[in-house]
Structure 1
């Protein structure tokens, strides 16, 4: 099984999901003298050998692809598995390395709000299988007149990142379209893949019900898997959205653990097991397989739930 890690924000570790709705026509940052001064060698997926003159001085964010990936530039909504090298370009000190050499690393739910803008810009230069070098300023990474004392980074310092895009998940289900049955919640997709859900006016189903709107051809979800998804959940009673990864600024995919001890309702978990990556499914979860008589957050007691789920991938799958 491949190991995973989470990207670095303001001193902690986080996973990264770039936010947005469509792939940029061009990278958001370009090459320049600062990033060109960083020399990188070594095999993809292995800890890189990195050399640069110190002090290295950056004025803005620059990026350069040193190992070419495949396909299009990364779409802003994709969830990524990365290897990361991070150094202080002013002092030459290595701050962290993670995700290389099948190293055991931390896995967290991706959060677009905690992804620093220079990494978003730098990763826009990358493709699946790319190794990219990104240089930026501490101020662009942390904010004006800010650094990170715990990491030994002063406000005026330059930061150097080398990132291997080990795996790039799609930002939406890409399976073959299938027709849904009459009387089932209807789903209409926006241009960016965002689902709109209309619940029938009739009473809710009493049992767990599942419809496949797109049939994927990828790996099969099994008990115990960590599944990367985009989803929208609505209440059957009034069609209110109670949770979604489709935010105003784009998507922020999440990771669900399915099976015994998972982090989602049992009905939803049971519905996903046996489905394939690339599928989009609609799941109607009755109260006794959802949050029951207690409810949860914006979900009231005894609520029937409707989920539209894009199955984007499975952690640990090669």
Structure 2
């Protein structure tokens, strides 16, 4: 890639693992209670919420209350979502993060539910679905613990109040129908969590980009100029070594794919994705002419043929 494109979230309150797409969605990791029900949130979706609550709010466990009901399945661990977010000190009422990402005029905050997320925020996010607005109250044990976080104004005994909207959510892995690959194409075997294991054949690669649909999805078709969310692993053809993997980083990547100069990835990567459907898994052999050419790039030797396995998780709206 031309740059590090792993999605990130903001501040000390966000960030990432995996679930299968065929299993039923698990129950949320938190439920409503007196503390979360006491958070008064007004305003419509698409506008910044107005938040009021009595202080101090001191729950014994993380609680969540769905203020506006969403549709579809709840968010799960390993999933990336785009959210609007506001955060308050539950003990003092102080605003720690002003409402961000709630309106169409603002970019939503990308967040991946997982091991690097504050435990209470992870629990609270599991209560949401696309189109929902949720109020979450987080005790110190599920926030910053006995040390607090003085840099953002949170003491060791302070709870957090979080209000978020789920504006969009993406697949955790490709969920399309499996298709057989041609003879001589690299072999791909998936781990239970979806990450690919790749074996490149000991043959000379072809000189042009070769695209193979390993799983055929049924979602939106990716067009030139779209910003996509993907998981991918890239290996060198010569020695089958992994040079880049979002799976290893613990979060999907997001970038613009294009057949023009606005593309944020190498031409072969864009060619593999444009015209494919969300939910698909794509294998692509990228020769140097559609990759990095005769220049060494971030540990990739000059003149390298590359092979990627790409899960298309969604298109950013």
Q: TM-score range by the shorter chain?
A: 0.7 to 0.9
**Counterpart for residue 127 of structure 2:** 125
Determine helix, strand or coil for the equivalent of 1:144: helix
Q: Contact 1:45–1:83 at 8 Å: present in 2 too?
A: no
Instruction: Quote the residue 1:73 is aligned against.
Output: 74
Match for residue 115 of structure 1 among 117, 141, 158: 117
Say if 1:258 and 1:269, in contact at 8 Å, map to a contact too: yes
Q: Using the TM superposition, give the Cα deviation of residue 184 of structure 1 relative to its aligned residue in structure 2, in angstroms.
A: 0.9
Q: Please tell me whether the aligned partners of residues 119 and 142 of structure 2 are also in contact (alpha carbons under 8 angstroms).
A: yes
CA distance in 2, matches of 1:27, 1:247: 26
Alignment partners' CA distance in 2, 1:42 and 1:80: 21
Once the two structures are superposed, residues 23-67 of structure 1 have per-residue CA deviations (whole angstroms, 9 ceiling, x without a partner) of 763222233332222122333333223221112224442222233
Alpha-carbon deviations, 1:149-186, whole Å to 9, x = none?
3x433332221111111111111122233221111112
Alpha-carbon distance change, 289 to 144 in structure 1, aligned in 2, over 3 angstroms? farther
Q: 2:103 aligns with which of 101, 104, 108?
A: 101
- Following superposition, the deviation at residue 127 of structure 1 comes to 2.3
8 Å contact kept, 1:138–1:157: yes
Closer/same/farther in 2, CA of residues 143 and 296 from structure 1, 3 Å limit:
farther
Q: Which residue of 1 aligns with 2:254?
A: 255
**Once structures 1 and 2 are overlaid, which stretch shifts more, 105-114 or 95-104?**
105-114
Of residues 12, 17, 20, the one that matches 1:19 is 17
User: Cα distance 1:43–1:223, how it changes in 2: closer, same or farther (>3 A)?
Assistant: same
Match of 1:53 in 2: 54
Structure 2: distance between partners of 1:222 and 1:72: 26
Q: Is the 8 A contact 1:230 1:253 kept in 2?
A: yes
2:213–2:281: 8 Å Cα contact kept in structure 1?
yes
TM-score, structure 2 normalization? 0.85
For structure 2, the residue ranges without an aligned partner over 5 or more in a row are 1-6
Contact 1:9–1:115 under 8 Å retained in 2:
no
Q: Is the 8 A contact 1:10 1:142 kept in 2?
A: no
2:202 equivalent to 1:201: yes
Output the TM-score relative to the length of structure 1. Answer: 0.85
Aligned to 1:164: 165
- Where structure 1 has 5 or more consecutive residues not aligned to the other structure, the ranges are none
RMSD of the alignment, in Å?
A: 2.7
> Given the superposition, is the C-alpha separation of residues 103 and 58 from structure 1 closer, same or farther in structure 2, using an over 3 Å criterion?
farther
Q: What is the alpha-carbon distance in structure 2 between the residues aligned to residue 109 and residue 242 of structure 1?
A: 24
SS across alignment from 1:303 = coil
Deviation at 1:229, TM superposition (A): 0.3
